[in-house]
Amino acid sequence: MNQDEMKRAVAIAAVEMILPKLERQSIIGVGTGSTANFFIDALAKHRDEFAGAVASSEATAARLRQHDIEVYDLNSVSQLEFYIDGADEFDNGFNLIKGGGAALTREKIVAAVAKKFICIVDETKKVDVLGRFPLPIEVIPMARSYVGRQLAALEGQPAYREGVVTDNGNIIIDLHDVEILDPKVFERHLNNIVGVVTNGLFANRGADVILMGTPQGVQTLKRD
Ligand code: 5RP
């Protein structure tokens, strides 16, 4: 199985996992990226079995609508049973790095509302210590240089992601070469820098279930 085949397999496994629990009025949260796109495509044939979805990005909203899946504003929804999304990296503690597609802030908001976060990844994303993948940080544009200096004083190498504007009108700084030994503390620390909207560590609200694609098939990892 190549990486795309593993992504498709975990996407189908996620649909199979949530379908028995969906009711006609259920609304689910849907993430962003190529694995999330496989999930949307697999979900489409069941669109009459649930009410619709909250999207974590404009791109995801567009893809949901292409499949005639109703897209809801999060403010009109009091509860989401599931949030299904990919990740750029994950560790044994169900901590994640997300934001490779620059959708981290909306992803984090939708994940916060959902009762259960099912993360769909292939095995290439697994690490012992987070930080091999540059950590995305969404920043208010006028704070770019200030936040860059604050990050440089920590550890790692901040790099402005040229040409990227988030759905919220902000910029992304990627923090390279950082070993994240305590993801929960580092997540909170970065969020305390003025001008940071949020960062791509999903540790204080990590995944509840990880569906990991391997060449041998999909493994289901659950928190104890
Ligand atoms: C987007 C994300 C994605 O979940 C992450 O980048 C993984 O993407 P892909 O499924 O394409 O590998 O966080 O902001």
pLDDT per residue of the chain (224 residues) written in tens, 0 to 9: 899 999 999 999 999 999 999 999 999 999 999 999 999 999 999 999 999 999 999 999 999 999 999 999 999 999 999 999 999 999 999 999 999 999 999 999 999 999 999 999 999 999 999 999 999 999 999 999 999 999 999 989 999 999 999 999 999 999 999 999 999 999 999 999 999 999 999 999 999 999 999 999 999 999 87
From 124, 125, 129, 119, select the one nearest 209 (Cα to Cα). 119
pLDDT at 1: 87
Q: Can 107 be counted among the known catalytic residues?
A: yes
Q: pTM of whole model > 0.95?
A: yes
32 CB within 6 A, ligand 1: yes
Nearest CA to ligand 1 atom 5: 87
Ligand 1 atom closest to 200 (CA): 13
100 CB within 6 A, ligand 1: yes
Which of 3, 34, 41, 161 maximizes ligand 1 atoms within 8 Å of its Cβ, making it the mutation to test the pocket?
A: 34
